[in-house]
Structure 1
Amino acid sequence: MKAYLFPGQGSQFIGMGKNLYKNSHFAKKLFQLADDVLEFKMTSIMFEGPINTLKKTKYTQLAIYIYSVIKAKILNDFTPDMVAGHSLGEFSALAAIDVFSFENGLILVNQRASIMQNICELIHGGMAVIFGLKDDIIEEICKNDNGIIVPSNYNAPEQLVISGEIKALKRVCISLKKIGAKKIFFLPVHGAFHSPIMEPAKKKLKEFINQISFKDSICPIYQNFSAKSFTKSEYIKKNLIEQLTHPVKWKQSIENMINNGAISFTEIGPGNILQGLMKKILINFSKKYKCYHV
């Protein structure tokens, strides 16, 4: 069975989509449609930058969504048996399989990004990737801290992201280093994504999601909130809302996809971050799996 994966923030780069725009008439139409729907030149930011603008959450999320969905739409053999998206990538996956339209996805992602950007400016949080420790050890250290600090991205074995208040984040990272974390990398973001700090954003996002028309999925989508698969639109909506304040269960999603028959994984989007995570996840499986990037 063929699985398709869609990346989240962190895979953006200046020039993303420029070749698609030049070489595909259909892609060009979708890029122009994106500019029309958003009422500003998002394509110029993607193609020309500057990088400091592209790195802002409200533009990064749009850029990755636009690139990923267009890439899927122009593939000749995009016939997924199942899909998944990492954080923002869940929106790309849903648009790619027509649960909602490209245009409605743009509206949702634009609202999501703007809301999250506003929360980041009001409440300065942070995120850090912890390498080399078991999940339960990190979970316990976070639980015992008296600040807001939680696991936010279960990316791969012994690679877990934590999110929260800056002071709590620094305290927990010091503790994790002392007990054997091999490496700790602070992400270049100013928000505590997938944590309780995003609760105000979640309430606003729910209002917008409930205004958008969703269809049942043509194939199972493994959603971040529970790592389980869904096809019914009402459950897909609920999980998409819950994702904002709960951890991304990426490792668990991939494991469930494998256990349900996936043998081929294709990453659709800029960069190859998910390919790197796949290699780490697949270490625990004896069977050989095929991984691609387009």
Structure 2
Amino acid sequence: MSTAYLFPGQGSQSVGMGKDHYDSNTRFAELVDLANEILDIDLKSIMFEGPEETLKQTEFTQPAIFLHSVGLYKTIDAAPDMVAGHSLGEFSALVASGAVAFEDALNIVRKRGRLMQQAGEQNPGTMAAVIGMEDEVVEEICAEAADQVGKEVIAANYNCPGQLVISGDLEAVEQAVSLAKDRGCRLAKVLPVSGAFHSSLMQPAYDGLKQELEELEVQKPECPIYSNYTAQPTTEPEQIRSNLLNQLLNPVRWTQTLQNMHDDGAKTFIEVGPGKVLQGLVKRTLSDVEIDGYQ
């Protein structure tokens, strides 16, 4: 009967996030103030007061969600048997598992957000949700759309059975959405994002983070961390580094991650961070588990 702790990624942010914890919990407040000092930006005001347009910018969204998640985790009495994080959340999971220091992860997350935003400007692309189709059918549609348009579109987030996010060049994504609608998906719509995350269009971000991730001090974690890139557990520092880098250009295998955690004995899943997105994905992926969360 193992317990898995999960950490959310981009899309879970909202103006006001973390303010109640800041006002009521000294440890949380200390970490928020420390983050402001380390990053030399007023992340606290962006989180608590917005405006939403600023918080939605990838370069601020990512450190805000990371800070909320890790700050909250450090105020609860947690003893995970395994951890995982959705995209950006993988950094929160690494801090929770003791593999990476808070300060080191915060700096890389800030840089990752900035580089991903810049990559989106340099290589314009987008993402779209496709709901109500088998994974294999969506993959086939992406391949067909890419062939027709001559540009990339891939399945980028395997969120839960029947819910995928595709990513790539704007024209190719729009073509895939059109094909999915023609073939009877329940919903297909382009998302308001600033880039084609988890696709080859993020190559500039990969190049920009490569050296920093290779130099990142990674300890052996206290429990296995399940990687987005492989959906498999690891405790090896070199593998963790490699997975973090490869994650930028490759799909988030969240459905497979949850299934593998479950196969490895996880019966309780606890989400730590803003929102309840991951709790919903667990519910739609696994049937015989307990689900809880700290927001």
Give the TM interval when normalised to the shorter protein: over 0.9
Question: 2:273, 2:43 → 1: CA distance?
Answer: 17
Which residue identity lines up with residue 194 of structure 1 in the other structure?
H
Helix, strand or coil: the match of 1:8? coil
**Equivalent in the alignment of 1:204:** 208
Instruction: Determine what percentage of the aligned residue pairs are the same residue.
Output: 44
What does residue 275 of structure 1 align with? Answer: 279
Q: Contact (CA 8 Å) 2:174, 2:190: kept in 1 or not?
A: no
In 2, the alpha carbon distance for the partners of 1:239 and 1:26 equals 30
SS at match of 2:247: helix
Letter paired with 2:116: M
| Match of residue 86 from structure 1 | 86
The answer on 1:247 being equivalent to 2:247 is: no
Q: 1:185 aligns with which of 185, 189, 200?
A: 189
**Paired position in structure 2 for 1:8:** 9
Q: What is the alpha-carbon distance in structure 2 between the residues aligned to residue 26 and residue 248 of structure 1?
A: 31
What is the identity, as a one-letter code, of the residue corresponding to 1:185? K
2:291 — aligned with what? 291
- Note if 1:103 corresponds to 2:103: yes
Tell me how far apart the structure 1 counterparts of residues 46 and 293 of structure 2 sit (CA, whole Å). Answer: 24
Whole-Å Cα distance in 2 between the matches of residues 28 and 14 of structure 1? 17
> For the residues of structure 2 that align with 1:28 and 1:201, how far apart are their CA atoms?
31
Q: Deviations over 1:87-108 (max 9, x none)?
A: 0000011012221111111111
SS in 2 for 1:263: strand
1:136 is the counterpart of 2:140: no
8 Å CA contact 2:177–2:189 kept in 1: the answer is no
Partner of 1:28: 29
Q: Aligned runs of 1:53-202 on 2, under 5 Å?
A: 53-76=54-77, 78-144=78-144, 145=146, 146-202=150-206
What residue identity is the alignment partner of 2:182?
K
Provide Cα deviations, 1:201-235, integer angstroms capped at 9, x if missing partner. 11211111122211011101110001000001110
Distance (Å, rounded) in 2 between the aligned partners of 1:289 and 1:69: 24
CA distance in 2, matches of 1:22, 1:82: 30
C-alpha deviation, 1:185, in angstroms: 2.8
Q: Displacement of 1:65 after TM fit?
A: 0.2
Classify the secondary structure of the residue corresponding to 1:277.
helix
TM-score (norm 2): 0.96
Question: Deviations along 1:229-252, whole A, 9 cap, x unmatched?
Answer: 000111000001000000000000
Q: Would you say the 8 A contact 2:28–2:75 is kept in 1?
A: yes
Distance 1:241 1:162 in 2: 20
**Alpha-carbon distance between aligned partners in 2 of 1:257 and 1:209, rounded to the nearest angstrom:** 26
Structure 1: stretches of 5+ with no match in the other structure: none
3-state SS of 1:181 partner: coil
User: TM-score, normalized by length of structure 1?
Assistant: 0.97
Q: Alignment RMSD, CA only?
A: 0.9
Instruction: Return 195-204 or 48-57, whichever deviates more.
Output: 195-204
Q: Deviations over 1:158-215 (max 9, x none)?
A: 1111000000111111011101111113221020000011112112111111222110
| Cα distance in 2 between the residues matched to 1:23 and 1:219 | 30
Give a deviation string over 1:42-90, Cα, whole Å, max 9, x none.
11100111110000000000100000001100102x1000000000000
Matching residue of 1:41: 42
SS of match in other structure, 2:219: coil
**Partner SS for 1:266:** strand
Query: Which stretches in structure 2 are left out of the alignment for 5+ residues?
Result: none
- Which SS does the other structure have where 1:4 is aligned? strand
Residue 263 (structure 1) aligned to one of 251, 264, 267 = 267
The one-letter code sitting in structure 2 at the alignment partner of 1:155 is: N
Residue type matched to 2:191 in 1? L
